[in-house]
């Protein structure tokens, strides 16, 4: 029988939207949608950072047209390269926080994992028979964990599975209870599939 439910984690900060997870099972298909965590106050600060950083980068870029020694222009070139890298990452993070979602689907004989901003994104498909060992990701390095916990970073994955000697991560910024609940739901659904096929 089809079912659908949501897990909502409320945060006391009034500017913070709940981190919402939608789980549904219908027509032998399991779909888990993990919406990006969004904090309006931090989002405003991130937008301000983008504006100021953009102005700084444009100002440096304009110096290419001034008659400076080649060594100075080389310095400007290196700076602009780093500027473009961080500009892209932060703008991507800004858009992810506002429009991003992860979609985990089990249908027929495949697991489909999508990471989208709006209607655009990347989708990967994994045959079920080659997927195993859904587990929590444990961060041993506190420094790396702290860096990934920043609002502009969207690399703090919490769940992984094994696929042909690869580790595939998903579930960005879930707390431990959320991640465990998702793993439990996936394992139960896969168990049902295997039992029905035998």
Question: CATH code at 32?
Answer: 2.30.29
| Per-residue model confidence as pLDDT tens digits over 52-73 | 999 988 888 888 778 888 888 8
Domain boundary (49, 73, 95) is at 95
Query: In 3D, which of 103, 164, 178 has the Cα closest to residue 136?
Result: 178
DSSP 13: -
Q: Which tokens belong to 122?
A: 């990347």
Do 61 and 136 lie in a common domain?
A: no
- 190 and 123: one domain? yes
Question: Which tens digits make up the pLDDT trace of 151-182?
Answer: 777 888 999 999 998 999 999 989 889 999 99
Q: Which tokens go with 149?
A: 């916990």
pTM of the model: 0.78
**Confidence class for position 46, pLDDT limits 50, 70, 90:** very high
Are the C-beta atoms of 23 and 32 separated by less than 8 Å? yes
- Whether residue 131 sits in one domain with residue 117: yes
User: Which of 74, 95, 116 finishes a domain?
Assistant: 95
Same domain membership, residue 30 and residue 112: yes
Nearest-CA neighbor of 168 among 106, 104, 119?
A: 104
Q: What is the mean pLDDT of residues 122-149?
A: 81
Q: Are residues 187 and 120 in the same domain?
A: yes
Domain match, 86 and 143 both? no
Distance CA 59, CA 27 (A): 56
Residue numbers of the domain that contains 143: 3-37+102-197
Same domain, 19 and 115: yes
Identify the CA nearest to 164 among candidates 133, 143, 123, 190: 133
In this predicted structure, what is the pLDDT of residue 131? 94
Q: Are residues 27 and 46 in the same domain?
A: no
Domain count within the chain: 2
The predicted pLDDT at position 8 comes to 42
Confidence of residue 75 (pLDDT cuts 50, 70, 90): confident
Q: What is the mean pLDDT of residues 22-27?
A: 89
């Amino acid at each position: 029988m089809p079912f659908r439910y949501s897990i909502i984690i409320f945060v006391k900060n009034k500017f913070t939207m709940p981190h919402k997870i939608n789980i549904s099972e219908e027509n032998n298909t399991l779909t888990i949608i993990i919406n990006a965590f969004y904090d309006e106050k931090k989002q405003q600060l991130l937008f301000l950072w983008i504006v100021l950083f953009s102005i700084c980068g444009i100002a440096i870029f304009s110096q290419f047209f001034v008659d400076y020694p080649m060594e100075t222009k080389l310095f400007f070139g290196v700076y602009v390269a780093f500027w473009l890298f961080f500009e892209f990452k932060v703008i991507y993070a800004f858009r992810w926080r506002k429009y991003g979602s992860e979609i985990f689907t089990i249908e027929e004989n495949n697991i489909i994992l999508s990471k989208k901003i709006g209607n655009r994104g990347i989708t990967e498909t994994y045959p079920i028979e080659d997927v195993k060992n859904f587990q929590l990701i444990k961060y041993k390095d506190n420094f790396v964990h702290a860096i990934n916990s920043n609002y502009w970073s969207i690399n703090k994955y919490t769940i992984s599975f094994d696929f042909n000697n690869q580790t595939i991560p998903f579930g960005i910024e879930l707390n431990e209870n959320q991640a465990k609940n998702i793993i439990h739901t996936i394992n139960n659904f896969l168990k049902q599939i295997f039992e029905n096929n035998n």
